[in-house]
A and B are shown apart, each in its own frame.
Chain A
């Protein structure tokens, strides 16, 4: 706890090194994700496949191009999106445990998707052609709408309820309520739709094809782009809304943009990859701890890199390299994420204020 006065130059140099390190890590994880899986492909051939060199085994080319490359890119995008969403939520709620998953926003997205997949039986197949472009957008729209609805509800209530803990509990309750509706939909649905929904709910980076990936990339770009406009506003929110207002910021607009960005980001990920837990809560903490700052000018680029790296690592672990098995992503993120959150909570109790948002 006893930080001696730090030389700002050395801190900046350290941060540059960290950024470089994470770029290298991402590159390494990217190549490993392409090389490892049920079939191992030598690294030297990966490069050949990527630049389109002739004379590489055709099955390898096919696996990399159609399965592993979209998967690793999906993982990176999802990691970035969830971390960005989590960071904004933690700052806005000034709660270190806020993330799209815990606040029930993912449940909202799940409800949207459940209505899209399961409810399509009732509504007449509006969302059924899930492989067409229109289908992709409907799914994203449904998930974003569900996510936005819950977030809007939380924000609405948040105007009266200032206590973050109360809000968190309300978020959990929203989550339970939406889960109940999902359960009801599941209960009355045809088995094959239920299966489609439950596979979606395990979370996976694998089911995303190139068309879907393009859609996801655009949505994530928009969401992250919105967040990139906010470092100043988010920093001001660290002091609370009253301070932000007296510093001349339009807090209502700020809330709205954060709401938009966070719900679009978590909505998109949830739509394409399923509800993925813990990345959103963990990555901002890793970033704050490694870069020793709460300043969003540094945190925003940091969580983009760390989010991509963590998510790619989870994707790699889920493949269980060398085996024919693939784990659901949620299994991996929860197994690693739950102990991490426990650690965060315990560390806070010991008074390590660096874990304050």
Chain B
């Protein structure tokens, strides 16, 4: 079975009306299989949307080849293409007075005739997708009364109702709060693994991408794409390379980004549990280099977790202070 999506020597960008086309990326050899969840990540403005638009046929490629289920993308009629690929776009929709099930039912357009008469099977598919996405209880609500997260899930349900082999999403979590993002990323992961879809999404949520994606397509500002399991890209330094810029560092230990520590003051920290972790973060933010070994003369912070009330003890210049909160500790440092 051929992969759902395969590109060879693909070049993307904009045709510039007779002049030389603006190439955003070229020589892209990408591959995406059924049951795989891929996150496309990269700094702002490197051309992630252009790539997604080209792969879904919304924008012409410049050169190279895109194959969908073993057939050239250009050889598909619009309706047949809609049976292969469906999309969820960034821009929030404003359909106003439309019920959730009506909106999701739009996913059946490639299957219905001119007058969009829905067969019983079509409604079954719609209700099933609403259930899979977890918004079946909302199906009679009006779309404009939903929260951003709920609306995005309905848009995913609409895309699924198209019964595509490949689901492409352009920053589906952009307008969502953090729990909403986790829910959507988890959903996408499950769609790939539980429903055998090929799922490709661009995202700015690196930490979530690292946690949920089977593979990462990491695009840098020169249009190169490194592929691999998230962990591989972390370990071989690709992540750090693509995102590092003045003052921001990728920390391969935690998989998170951090502001560069420009502090020169050193502090020794001891303690345990989550209190220790969060105290370290706080000291880090305040510009301290947290040392593992105590150097005589530098401040020493002791976290003492106790039932009900944790205290932070600071020994500095021969004096000892006790604080009831991290905030108070930082204030005195």
Hey, which bits of chain A sit against chain B, CB under 8 A?
1-3, 5-8, 94, 229, 231-232, 235-236, 238-240, 242-243, 245-250, 288, 292-295, 297, 353-357
Contacts and interface: CB of A to CB of B under 8 A. Distances in A.
B87 interface: yes
B56 interface: yes
A-B pairs, top 3 by smallest CB distance, nearest first, are A248-B82, A356-B96, A353-B144
A90 to B, nearest CB: 11
Given A239-B95, A247-B109, A295 B102 contact: yes
B106 interface: yes
Interface stretch (B110-118, B254-262, B273-281, B317-325): B110-118
19 contacts: A3-B145, A5-B140, A231-B116, A232-B115, A235-B106, A238-B95, A240-B91, A240-B93, A242-B89, A246-B85, A248-B82, A248-B83, A293-B97, A294-B95, A294-B98, A353-B96, A354-B97, A354-B142, A357-B96
B94 interface: yes
Given A292-B97, A293-B98, 13 more contacts: A231-B115, A236-B109, A242-B89, A246-B82, A247-B162, A248-B82, A248-B110, A294-B97, A295-B102, A353-B144, A354-B97, A355-B96, A357-B96
A99 B123 CA distance: 34
Contact of A8 (B78, B81, B82, B140): B140
Contact of B86 (A6, A246, A353, A354): A246
Contacts of B112: 232
Most chain A CB within a 10 A radius of its CB, from B81, B93, B96: B96
A286 B240 CA distance: 56
Contacts of A356: 94-96, 144
Contacts of A232: 109, 112, 114-116
Nearest to A96: B96
A295 B105 CA distance: 11
B58 interface: yes
A248 B77 CA distance: 8
B245 interface: no
A3 B87 CA distance: 28
B286 to A, nearest CB: 41
Contact of A247 (B96, B98, B106, B145): B106
Interface in B28-59: 56-58
Given A247-B162, A294-B97, A354-B97, A6 B82 contact: no
A2 B142 CA distance: 10
Interface string B246-275: 000000000000000000000000000000
A308 to B, nearest CB: 22
Contacts of B83: 248
Nearest to B80: A248
Given A2-B145, A242-B58, A248 B115 contact: no
Contacts of A2: 145
A247 B110 contact: yes
Nearest to B112: A232
A246 B57 CA distance: 8
